[in-house]
Amino acid sequence: MIFLTQQSCNFAAVKFRFVLFFLLSCSRLFSQTIGGNSVFNFLNLPNTPQLTALGGINVSANSNDVGMAFYSPALLNKSMHTQINLVFNDFYAGVETYHMNFGYHNPKLNTNFSYGIHFFDYGNLAQTDAAGNTFGEFRASDWVMQVSASHSYKEKWNLGTTLKFISSNYGQYKANGLAADISLLYKDTAKLFSASVLIRNAGFQLKEYPGARGGDLPFDLQAGITQRLKNAPFSFSLTAHHLHVFDISYNDTLFNNANDFENSSEGFSFDKLFQHIVLATTIHIDKKVEATFGYNHLRRKELNIGKEGNGLNGFSIGFAVLLNKIQIRFARANYQNNTAYNQLGLNLKLNEYFGLGKLGKQAGW
């Protein structure tokens, strides 16, 4: 019996090393552009309040929020069965964002599935010619629709994949593409520890914008850990992003000199290293109440205004009320001095509100 257990553990370890090798290999195969030169950059914006509160990037916060599984499919688990995440918000300058993600667990396949969409409505914009003459209006929008699946192995491992269709529509300028995410999560419930690695947006354009060359997708390789303390109501997360390239700072010398910005030096620096890091902590005030704080150093560096006081740039905060049938989450992220983005979301367990009769029983509702 002991021999079989050790053999199973060895097999799981070999499988993990194989999957990790595959993930790292993919990061080289799909090493796409960073620093704002890619297409479909709206994919980088956080879709749900919990992710926003955690600093906008997190792959290891293993919670009962199906909205987090939209970002990293390995976070999708069977506790999210029939849970729907709904987010409605006004972004800056009247931009409206809508998000929905729905989870479903298939007991026969022992596999979790989710379907989601993230939509950005930029409203009506003036349509002009090269001379600036206005001759009408057009409606602009971006959206991504995706399907995810995850499967657990040996209780502590969860492998997830996502396939997404991306669409961008700016009047006569339209483009679309395909992308995939793959992530692996390790969680030890006894030690209250989780770790994960994620490949995001590995894909390509199907249709290019008229008159433009094909662009790269905002590819990212991320890894993170989360540790909850046993004797204190705190969880801590550390997430590293853009692991496939070291220098991710944007450096425009002429612009920096004209606006009193510091120019980025060549070679290694601790500031460049820290630009890859997002830190977060969650205070579990009660089983039904949480407060989350996050810090994204890259966001702060990119949005700072010269050497002026830049307030809480890069910081975020969130609160959650977690009831049996509903989760209410709110987040606020500071993107620039005196400018912040508020996000409100609801998570509902649909099978707690209504049934589907015999059809529902057959479908595992």
Query: Does the structure show a pLDDT above 80 at 92?
Result: no
pLDDT at 29 over 70: no
pTM metric for this prediction: 0.85
Query: For residues 82 and 68, what is the distance between their CA atoms, to the nearest angstrom?
Result: 15
Distance CA 27, CA 48 (A): 26
C-alpha torsion sign, points 64, 67, 71, 76: positive
Residue 260 has pLDDT above 80, yes or no: no
Taking only the tens place, the pLDDT of each residue in 301-353 is 888 776 666 688 899 999 999 998 999 999 999 887 768 889 999 999 998 88
Cα 58 from Cα 35, distance rounded (Å): 19
Q: How confident is the model at residue 3 (pLDDT cuts 50, 70, 90)?
A: very low
Give residues with Cβ within 8 angstroms of 285, minimum separation 6: 233, 291
Q: Are 217 and 40 in contact (CB under 8 A)?
A: yes
- Tell me whether strands 134-153 and 234-240 are parallel, antiparallel or unpaired: unpaired
Summarize pLDDT for 162-217 with one digit per residue, the tens: 999 999 999 889 999 999 999 999 999 999 999 999 999 999 999 999 988 888 99
Query: What's the pLDDT at 8?
Result: 41
Query: What is the pLDDT, as a whole number, of residue 28?
Result: 41
What is the average per-residue pLDDT within 53-77? 97
138 backbone dihedrals φ, ψ, rounded to 5°: -140, 155
Question: What token pair was written down for 174?
Answer: 């339209």
Domains of the chain, CATH where assigned: 2-362 (2.40.160.40)
Average pLDDT of 154-160? Answer: 94
